[in-house]
Amino acid sequence: MNEEKVKRNHVTIFDVAKEAGVSYSTVSRVVNNFQYVKPETRERVQAAMDKLGYVANLKARSLAGGRSQVLGLLLYDFESSYQVEIVRGIDAEISALGYDLMMYTTHHRRQKESTLVAKLTQGLVDGLLIVLPSNLEAYLEDLDSRHFPYVLIDHAGTGISSNTVKAKNWVGSFEATAYLAGLGHRRIGFVQGVMTVDSAKERLAGYQAALARHGLAVDTALIRPGDFDWQSGYEAAKSFLSLAQPPTAVIASSDVCAFGVMEGLLAQGLRVPEDVSVIGFDDIPEAITIRPSLTTVRQDLRQMGRIATRVLVDCVDDPTRPTEKIELPMVLIPRESTALPVESVFYRNR
């Protein structure tokens, strides 16, 4: 096999997106014949796929072995770096294994999630990857009864039949809280994620366990609802500062939420970390570029995507193989957004 042919066989949607000057989600919409794509954009993507050999490879592989040689991927949106990093891992592994990727977004709509699962599993794809599923009860029993291969990403599943790949969220949250307590913080706020999601529940539980381990009471006033997003972090920061005794440190359930907390504190005239320390989760690329750089609990999102893809392909190859429940380590990455608690002018004047 010559060098040019090898290169063409390893074309990914990211290569096509770069060639066409569009996002990878736009390429996915064109590949899947999604209707809401401008004609000129569709033509540009099609030209890039033709030039790089992406479409030709997909058609040729779909004729072999009675399989589509395509894996399905369900995401709740395309907006966060959290999703992008997982997709990059999936895409790299899929390319290496000779598959292609069909992506759809649920836009946080539970009914749409179950509808898309039904659509994708009727011969369109050989297996399914689902990131942070929110409506498993609507379709999981059906997938299991049909022995359709699937892997849940960043979710513990609902029973022994589900293949899952997730991080050790409880441990990561425990260590983040213990780190702040070790610095001397005694009032540590916490912004929740979506509490129907396992990772959010585990992070809250790890926080509460660490407080107990360090002899600190769990104060419900220091726990605020959140949605893993920027706005919920911003609103939580304002809410914390309305307390008679605000926290000197805040843990947010995602980096994006932590960015919102930092902006909310800044809007109230406080400094990070001089007045309030902040910790996030995920270690997305922006965590190191924001100022101050964000202390965060790192989970290897690309590795999560790669491992989930390998597990799924193994299941496609051998539907009788035992299920796997894989937990990846989380690592606390101290940066500039955390420091020893200092009584600021803001607190002295309250």
CA distance 47 to 226: 43
Instruction: Tell me the domains of the chain and their CATH numbers.
Output: 1-65 (1.10.260.40), 169-298+333-348 (3.40.50.2300)
Among 128, 136, 144, CA closest to 73: 128
pLDDT value of residue 158: 76
Q: Which is higher by pLDDT, 13 or 250? A: 250
pLDDT value of residue 56: 45
Q: Which tokens go with 210?
A: 């660490």
Q: Which is higher by pLDDT, 118 or 280? A: 280
Phi, psi at residue 153, to the nearest 5°? Answer: -110, 130
Among 154, 123, 133, 158, CA closest to 144: 158
pLDDT of 142 strictly over 80 = yes
pLDDT of 7 strictly over 60 = no
pLDDT value of residue 39: 85
Mean pLDDT score across all residues of the chain:
87
CB 16 within 8 A of CB 45: yes
CA distance 94 to 282: 23
DSSP 114-158: HHHHHHHTTTT-SEEEEES-S-GGGTHHHHHHHT--EEEES---S
Q: Which is higher by pLDDT, 60 or 163? A: 163
Which range in 90-94, 133-137, 157-161, 326-330 is most confidently predicted, on average pLDDT?
326-330
Eight-class DSSP state of 78:
S
Q: Residue holding tokens 């006033």?
A: 221
Q: Give 55's contacts (C-beta < 8 A, 6+ positions apart).
A: 31, 46, 49
Q: Which residues face 331 on adjacent strands?
A: 298
Instruction: Give the CA distances from residue 329 to residues 281, 293, 297, 321, 345, in Å, rounded to whole numbers and listed in that order.
Output: 13, 22, 10, 24, 39
Among 94, 73, 85, 71, CA closest to 11: 94
CB 261 within 8 A of CB 289: no
> What is the mean pLDDT of the segment spanning 317-331?
93
pLDDT value of residue 55: 53
pLDDT value of residue 300: 95
User: Cα angle vertex 75, ends 50, 99, to 5°?
Assistant: 40
> What is the mean pLDDT of the segment spanning 163-173?
97
> What is the mean pLDDT of the segment spanning 281-305?
96
Give pLDDT tens digits for 48-105: 888 887 754 544 444 444 567 889 999 987 778 898 999 999 999 987 887 888 999 8
Instruction: Give the CA distances from residue 336 to residues 257, 259, 294, 296, in Å, rounded to whole numbers and listed in that order.
Output: 17, 13, 6, 10
Tell me the pLDDT band of 324, cut-offs 50, 70 and 90.
very high
Give pLDDT tens digits for 204-237: 999 999 999 999 999 999 999 999 999 999 999 9
pLDDT of 133 strictly over 80 = yes
pTM recorded for the entire structure? 0.78
pLDDT value of residue 34: 61
Tell me the pLDDT band of 283, cut-offs 50, 70 and 90.
very high
For the ranges 130-139, 172-181, 253-262, the lowest mean pLDDT is seen at 130-139
pLDDT value of residue 25: 73
**What is the CB neighbour count within 10 angstroms for residue 89?**
21
Helices (H), the chain: 3-9, 13-20, 24-31, 39-52, 54-62, 81-97, 110-120, 140-146, 169-183, 198-213, 230-240, 255-267, 286-289, 301-317, 345-348
